[in-house]
Structure 1
């Protein structure tokens, strides 16, 4: 009698391939491009397109770890405050005579520490949801930033520091190259490693994962620490582009980042989603805002449009499930 072999992978079908959420995002992206081209003759202007891309990519770095957090069925709404605190501490250190390169390293360490604190609090106090914990730290981190600078701004950074936000490599913005590299690294981490498979397992069933030997608490701490680190990376690029910093920078970043991740097909129920979808959503929302901004569409109208897209993102998987039934 031949042994029975169980296969985890689903058989490949063209229908299943083209019904993936990422293909819908591609179609939406093409629709946005066509719409913007018809609305404004300035959309394809290289300088405008390049500057717009550099303008929304700073927050895109946080989308990468946020995808992992949401896949684990958690959330982090403190990332915007971590950006502000990291940037403010870097600027304050530089103002008091610390070399800029050292201040940048300390900026990364501050963001990493903030993320680690979030993770430790979440796994230590399991009776508290991630929303409550990160809401608390969001207020604390932003408050510390205001204590350090109050309502003042700090600028006059070295000329070479501007390269992060405004530099080019062969005509390609440096920030775009940096984001692509980070997206590839996070994609490999999520889809090609044991760590990524365990992130999915935790999102599907944390209790079963824990009893299966998965170190759930350690993985959560690592993922939230990564979110803090990438928030500090965002602080470097954002401060470089602005040329100065204030305690109120990156306000609302957490909502934009979560919206990009959810639109990218990352399930808020946990255990589902791909990094490619999150990356596509970054450019979809970014160019939608850029194109509609060229024809003076109000910020409130843009919020309504993005909200409708998020509703579609939540409804489509449920409709697919009903159709299958």
Structure 2
């Protein structure tokens, strides 16, 4: 019987190593690609399940049954063996006295059984009470562990949630920084493009400012807007006076022969004609009027398309009628 009891004791030890069933704790398995949001949700979910399991009350039965098998059953078995030994001793004494099976033998055996029955009942009650208290303590301890584990899982879930929030905020800040950088690049490109498109106007503004005129930068089409040739025509009429050492600028004719110019730069187009800036050569400084703007057309180019607006002076150099050019280009 002892061997049988020991076998039951071995079986009773299995709950401590058995695999977790539904409703019990199961550790989170590590994953290759860790997702902090999934970890937070999993931790909080298991914390709630563990808390609900612990709130259902301690499971005393799972600790009471092993105690009954290992302690109570074995103790009652030992008492039964002692009773049998006492009955055998009483029978042997009755046999020696020649009273085996008689009334005295029956009374003695009944008293022995009654005594062991009373002792067994008392022992069983004490053991059951002791077993209950022991099982209750173990169940409450397990309940405390479950509550503690649930609280820890909840904290880990909250920590994972906070980490996820911090990552989201950092990603949002990085996105705003990248957006700001892209906007800065766009603004810089827009400013650079504006500088490229405004370069011809700025180049024309300086020589026109020398004439006391402001260039019209409007892009709308109007019936009549003064242009570069109008200003040059005005300048030619103002400068129309005899010039020492090189003839005169009578009328609205201005020196524009390419042979009198150097450092020539193309500024753009004005009403279909190329417009240049330049510096005078030594010969140009002698021929041209000092007040003449150093911006305009090339006489040789204009002569190919508008020969009536180009005149060969007595000095052998070409001049341009800017008044006529302004009138035809209007």
TM-score by length of 1: 0.19
Ranked by relative contact order (alpha carbons within 8 Å, sequence separation 6 or more), the top structure is 1
TM-score by length of 2: 0.19
Which structure is larger by alpha-carbon Rg, 1 or 2? 2
In terms of fraction of residues, the more helix-rich structure is 1
In terms of fraction of residues, the more strand-rich structure is 2
